[in-house]
């Protein structure tokens, strides 16, 4: 068994655990399992180096579906747009279209919520701002407003590290951080 297969199988186990937790009403535990499943599936996609284009597309579709379940909407959008670079069989093209429609519902319902994965590259304690350079697209940098009592701790814990920021986009366009974690 190769590493990609092991990563995929473990991701599916975490996804099953997440769905079981949801049935038991344990939403926070389910969220954690979906996040783990997505991260493993994304890693499987990154390590997939075969000539089997359909196999890679199936893994990308699976990672996108897990990203949606983990509420990682921007990575899901990225994966779904990326998968269109492949020549897909009809069944897979239909599945991608269904995921895009599902994602649109979430984005409309949560359009002000945002999640960014990137590297903490800048901090301004006076303005309670940090800047995150997006990993998937190095040319995009986001300015994030953080709680004033956390800025020093955030810089100490996460400086120059890859992080996942969850926040809410305000009407002004600024992003107000609600959660920060180290990226896997």
Domains of the chain: 3-109 (1.25.40), 113-182 (2.40.50.140)
Report pTM.
Answer: 0.59
- 83 neighbors 62 (Cβ within 8 angstroms): no
Cα(24)–Cα(16) distance, rounded to whole angstroms?
13
For 35-94, give the DSSP string: HHHHHHHHHHHHH--SS-HHHHHHHHHHHHHHHHHTT-HHHHHHHHHHHTTS---HHHHH
Cα(170)–Cα(113) distance, rounded to whole angstroms?
9
Residue 76 half-sphere exposure toward CB, CA atoms < 13 A: 27
Q: What's the confidence (pLDDT) of residue 85?
A: 74
End-to-end Cα separation, the chain, in angstroms: 23
Q: What's the confidence (pLDDT) of residue 52?
A: 77
CA distances to 26, 91, 99, 163 from 33, rounded to whole Å, are: 11, 28, 20, 18
Cα(23)–Cα(79) distance, rounded to whole angstroms?
28
pLDDT tens track of the chain, all 184 residues? Answer: 689 899 999 999 999 999 999 899 888 899 899 999 999 999 999 888 767 778 888 899 999 999 999 888 878 888 888 887 778 889 988 999 999 888 877 765 555 678 888 899 999 988 889 988 887 666 677 889 998 888 899 999 999 889 988 888 776 667 888 889 888 7
CA-based R_g, the chain, Å: 17
């Amino acid at each position: 068994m190769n590493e990609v297969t092991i990563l995929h199988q473990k991701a599916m186990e975490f996804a099953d655990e997440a769905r079981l937790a949801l049935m038991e009403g344990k939403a926070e535990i389910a969220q954690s399992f979906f996040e783990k499943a997505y991260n493993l599936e994304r890693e499987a996609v990154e390590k997939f180096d075969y000539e089997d284009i359909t196999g890679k597309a199936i893994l990308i579709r699976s990672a996108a579906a897990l990203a949606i379940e983990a509420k990682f909407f921007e990575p899901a959008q990225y994966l779904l747009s990326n998968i269109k670079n492949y020549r897909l069989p009809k069944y897979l093209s239909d599945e991608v279209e269904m995921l895009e429609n599902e994602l649109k519902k979430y984005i409309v319902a949560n359009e002000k919520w945002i999640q960014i994965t990137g590297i903490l590259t800048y901090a301004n304690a006076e303005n309670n701002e940090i800047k995150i350079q997006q990993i998937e697209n190095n040319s995009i940098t986001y300015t994030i407003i953080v709680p004033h009592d956390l800025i020093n701790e955030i810089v100490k814990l996460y400086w120059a590290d890859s992080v996942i920021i969850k926040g809410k986009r305000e009407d002004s366009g600024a992003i107000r951080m609600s959660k920060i974690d180290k990226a896997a």
